[in-house]
Amino acid sequence: MNAEISYLDNVDGSCLYNTPHTRVVASATGPVEPKARQELPTQLALELSVRPAAGVATTREVRIQDSVRAVITSILAAYKYPRQLCQLTLQVLQAGESEELFHCLELAACVNSAVFALVDAGVALTALALATTVALAHDGTATAEPSRQQLMDARSVHTVVFRIVDGKPEDILSMDSHGDFSEADILKVLDVAETSAKQLNAQFRETVLARVNIV
């Protein structure tokens, strides 16, 4: 994983997020003045849109959007900004997976890039959220950040988002699993995902530290 923070000029916060196969640009602007219909009396409204790499947004993107929204709203310090709006736009540049069958790599990249962009924009967050994708092969081996082929060959695929508090995965914010798996598999996946999230968190810290040091 590597992330280029403050990638864009015109928005308050942004990030170009690269994993070996998936690329997502995220932008965040806020708090800004909302349109009357978006305004919430006591908290920050979130305008979120996910755009696919090719073609126009479909129900598939609405679904990714819904999952990202659930994660982001649970970490936003929304009551700090009553009657304000935060615009979050996620543009997939490269899906890195077969788009008809999967959405897990994009979902994980969208969540992580969105968090980066929000941190860059200085929008208040009560914790971090980091997502990892785990593929479980037929022989039971679990691979974090699988490749396109590993996804195709997997028996089940899982995207897990952890809330990171004080540098450690604290609890599950979201889990999205498809395929064929047992109860023991779930625990194994959570375990692998947690290790992967810890690594991600270390990289995240490093990236953010580099940004803070520039100033």
Partner 1 sequence: MTSLVIPGDRISVDPERPVQLGPGMYCDPRTQDIVPVNAGVLHISESKRGQTVYVDYDSKRYTPAVGDLVVGVITGAFADSYRVSLASFSTPVSLSYMAFPNASKKNRPTLVIGDLVYARVCTAEKELEAEIECMDSTTGSESGFGLLENGTVVEVTLGFARHLLFDDAFPLLRLLAQHCKFEIAIGVNGKIWIKTEEVKDTIACYRSIKDCCGKPQEAFEEIIKQHFKTVTNTVEE
Partner 2 sequence: MAKDIEVSTAESQFILEALKQNYRLDGRSFEQFRDVKITFGEELGDVLVELGRTKVHCKISSSITEPYEDRPFEGLFFISTESTPMAGPQFESGNNTGEDEVLISRIIEKAVRRSGALDIEGLCIVAGSKCWAVRASVHFLDCDGGFVDASCIAVMTALLHYRKPDITVHGEKIIVHPVDEREPVALGILHIPVCVTSSFFNPVDAEQNIKGEENSEIVLVDATLKEELLREGVLTVTLNKNREVVQVSKAGGLPMDAMTLMECCHRAYDITERITDQILAAVKEDIAKRDKYSAILSSENAR
Partner 3 sequence: MSTEEEATVEVHPVSFPPEILARISPELSLQRHLSLGFRPSLRGFEEFRDVSVDVGTLSRYHQLQDPSSTKEVGTDNHVLGSCVLREGDVYVVTKITGGIIEDVTMSNEDIDEEEDAELLELTEDHSDITKYTSVYPVVEVERGRMGACTDEEMITSQKLFDTLQHAKILPKSSLKVKPGVRITNDDGTVEIIYPDSANSDEVMSSFKINKKWSYVLYARIEVFGRTGPVFDLCWNSLMYALKSVQLPKAFIDERATDLKMTVRTRGRNAIIRETYNLLCDPNDSTPIRLAEKNISFASTYGLIDLDPEADIANLEEDADGDEAMVDEEVKTVLLADIEGEAEESSIKSNITIVSNADGRFKRLSIVGGGAKITPALLAKSIALSKQRTADLAGKLI
Binding region for partner 3 (CB under 8 A)? 59-60, 62-63, 66, 70-71, 73-74, 101, 103, 138, 152-153, 155-158, 161, 163, 171-183, 185-187
Asked if 152 is part of the footprint of partner 2 (rule: CB under 8 A), the reply reads no
Nearest distance from C-beta of residue 145 to partner 1, angstroms: 22
Nearest distance from C-beta of residue 80 to partner 1, angstroms: 6
Q: Which residue, 18 or 52, is less far from partner 3 as judged by CB?
A: 52
Q: Which two tokens stand for residue 195?
A: 């290790």
Q: How, if at all, do strands 45-51 and 85-94 pair?
A: parallel
Amino acid identity of residue 122, one-letter, is G
| Residue 135 CA to its chain's centroid (Å) | 17
Q: Which residue, 137 or 208, is less far from partner 1 as judged by CB?
A: 208
Q: Which residue, 19 or 29, is less far from partner 1 as judged by CB?
A: 29
Asked if 47 is part of the footprint of partner 2 (rule: CB under 8 A), the reply reads yes
Indicate the burial class of 9 (C-beta count within 10 angstroms; 0-12, 13-18, 19 or more).
exposed
Q: Which residue, 181 or 204, is less far from partner 3 as judged by CB?
A: 181
Asked if 8 is part of the footprint of partner 1 (rule: CB under 8 A), the reply reads no
Q: Are 108 and 133 in contact (CB under 8 A)?
A: yes
Asked if 46 is part of the footprint of partner 2 (rule: CB under 8 A), the reply reads no
Among 37, 41, 42, 54, binds partner 2 (CB under 8 A): 54
CB atoms within 10 A of CB 212: 8
Among 63, 74, 93, 177, binds partner 2 (CB under 8 A): 93
Q: Residue written as tokens 């929008």?
A: 123
d(CA 70, CA 74): 6
**By C-alpha distance, which of 58, 47, 128, 127 is closest to 90?**
47
Asked if 128 is part of the footprint of partner 1 (rule: CB under 8 A), the reply reads yes
Would you call the peptide bond into 31 cis, given omega within 30 degrees of 0 as the criterion? Answer: yes
Catalog residues that contact partner 2 under the rule CB under 8 A: 8-11, 14, 21, 23, 25, 27, 29, 32-33, 35, 47, 49, 51-56, 87, 89, 91, 93-94
